[in-house]
Structure 1
């Protein structure tokens, strides 16, 4: 349990992740910062990782007695500590073991599931479900002529079940991350563990960008499928990418690829373009850069 002020500010893109993009050329004594660009590249800011991509109480579970339960935030913090150790191994070109791969997969799953964008999507979905349930209940009550006192035992049991279901859906609609994040991590990690992980390394001066939405699932064949199946992780053509440093990117595929792959400037720019496209509002660089040529002036028309 936690007191009323502990860990109120909770990051959906972890500080340990963003620190890899801190500008290495900042003067001694300055607070480390990253370069933050709006998606249209119209504005740029220098921001410390502690001050971006966070919300108050994003994962806090509020108990009935008013106590703040931080078990999700604390669990994510432990995951981030383990992840940071593995990234250090990758930077030192050390071999990874099976446990390292498992931690990377959990971290990647978390980067997909823990965002406010995912929360908003789930709130919309469960809000619609709750609205339908409330409408059905209202119609039922309007068309039922029996007094409540004359209902049979069976009808009372049915009402209790319906009430419990609506309470569950109401919680899902109001706090979906608190209710579903552990389950989502378990399901998605089980799929990621079946995929092949490659570490891409930039051999040129080009550096990987990241963003406020670093997890990217890209499927070049998705537009050929029914909309219900777009975004699925199980199709052969799916690629999941996550930059982990300005020079390293994790790539998960269903294809057999080498565990370490050197890539060129052109390939780095291809992934940067992909991650810019999936960013919500901001992209992150480890240095001041000009607007990339692949961002056209009519990108937002």
Structure 2
């Protein structure tokens, strides 16, 4: 089953009048080929076979997956995906605030889109595989080494356990599906928690001003939308602690900006609404936001207009020397 890792409800906001996306496939650069615009439907992009499906062999390694519907995560995602267009419609009409429940769901959706993305799977899970496994098994071996055993049968049992541990470590290290299994396991675990990390981050971001910048159809997006800037001005895929600026393109006209430096003075935990502030985006700011979204692309860049996608393609090809 083909599953979208970037919701179609998000992608549709960047479609043209014919419900198509102008796309650039940056994978072409790997083959020393120029990128060029192609028209695609939302159904054709940002999807992968069984990307979130919980398969039977997963359940033997992760006990908390037992008894779950294989499409458990898909159904959880739909809880906010079906509400997302209604909330965006209010923001597009420049509604001055959102009911707090909708604001919470909206921010939860944005954070979840970041965490469920393949870029996150690759950089936060797969790339750290060796370090995580080494740390885990080294701690097990350390604890076993602390046991002072005198009974020969216990000593033999300890040696057997160490040997079995090494075999298990080898098996996991050579498992090509480790990243997907671990990512899905963590996504399910978070969905089962009353207050998961997505919820905590979204609650944290409610405390700051939500400013929506307006452009004349000049924002593009990617298959991994949303970028944070840390105190050293470096772009980060996900950073919502300490000092940060977070940018999230919502439509070709609108981009959400949240900064830790601007607390929302109107916000209260028991408030009925979350205020939204609107402002025109200076050209320099538009350029900067678009530029920042080039750092964490997996495969695709999207726009709803030929003019902008042509400009992006020219810049990419020129930078690549093509």
- The yes-or-no answer on 1:33 pairing with 2:20 is yes
1:134 Cα deviation (Å)?
A: 6.8
| Partner of residue 29, structure 1 | none
- The yes-or-no answer on 1:234 pairing with 2:234 is no
> Structure 1 regions of 5+ residues with no counterpart?
1-7, 27-31, 139-145, 224-228
> Structure 2 regions of 5+ residues with no counterpart?
61-67, 142-148, 265-275
Q: Deviations over 1:153-209 (max 9, x none)?
A: 9849977x969x969997964512211125567224413422324242325x34210
Distance 1:173 1:128 in 2: 13
Does the 8 Å contact 1:38/1:282 carry over to 2? yes
1:150 Cα deviation (Å)?
A: 2.2
Distance 1:282 1:136 in 2: 41
Task: Give the 3-state SS of the residue equivalent to 1:240 in structure 2.
Answer: strand
Which of the numbers 240, 246, 268 marks the counterpart of 2:252?
246
1:231 Cα deviation (Å)?
A: 5.9
Task: Give the 3-state SS of the residue equivalent to 2:12 in structure 1.
Answer: helix
Which of the numbers 184, 187, 195 marks the counterpart of 2:197?
187
Residue 98 to residue 294, structure 1, CA distance change in 2 (3 Å): farther
Does the 8 Å contact 2:228/2:237 carry over to 1? no
| Partner of residue 126, structure 1 | 129
Distance 1:104 1:48 in 2: 24
1:280 Cα deviation (Å)?
A: 2.7
Q: Work out which structure has the larger RCO, using CA pairs closer than 8 Å and 6 or more positions apart in sequence.
A: 2
Distance 1:199 1:136 in 2: 46
TM-score normalised over the length of structure 2: 0.70
Task: Give the 3-state SS of the residue equivalent to 1:235 in structure 2.
Answer: coil
Does the 8 Å contact 2:94/2:278 carry over to 1? no
1:48 Cα deviation (Å)?
A: 0.2
Distance 2:100 2:160 in 1: 49
| Partner of residue 268, structure 1 | 286
Distance 1:131 1:174 in 2: 19
Q: Deviations over 1:88-120 (max 9, x none)?
A: 111122231211221122112112111112212
Which of the numbers 80, 103, 106 marks the counterpart of 2:105?
103
The total of aligned residue pairs comes to 275
- Aligned pairs (5 A) from 1:1-301: 8-24=1-17, 26=18, 32-39=19-26, 42-63=35-56, 69-94=70-95, 95-121=97-123, 122-130=125-133, 150-151=153-154, 155=158, 173-182=179-188, 186-195=196-205, 196-203=208-215, 205-221=216-232, 232-236=239-243, 238-256=244-262, 259-289=277-307, 290-292=310-312, 295=315, 299-300=319-320
Distance 2:314 2:211 in 1: 24
Does the 8 Å contact 2:119/2:296 carry over to 1? no
Distance 1:230 1:46 in 2: 27
Distance 1:113 1:172 in 2: 17
| Partner of residue 272, structure 2 | none
Residue 68 to residue 154, structure 1, CA distance change in 2 (3 Å): same
Residue 19 to residue 89, structure 1, CA distance change in 2 (3 Å): same
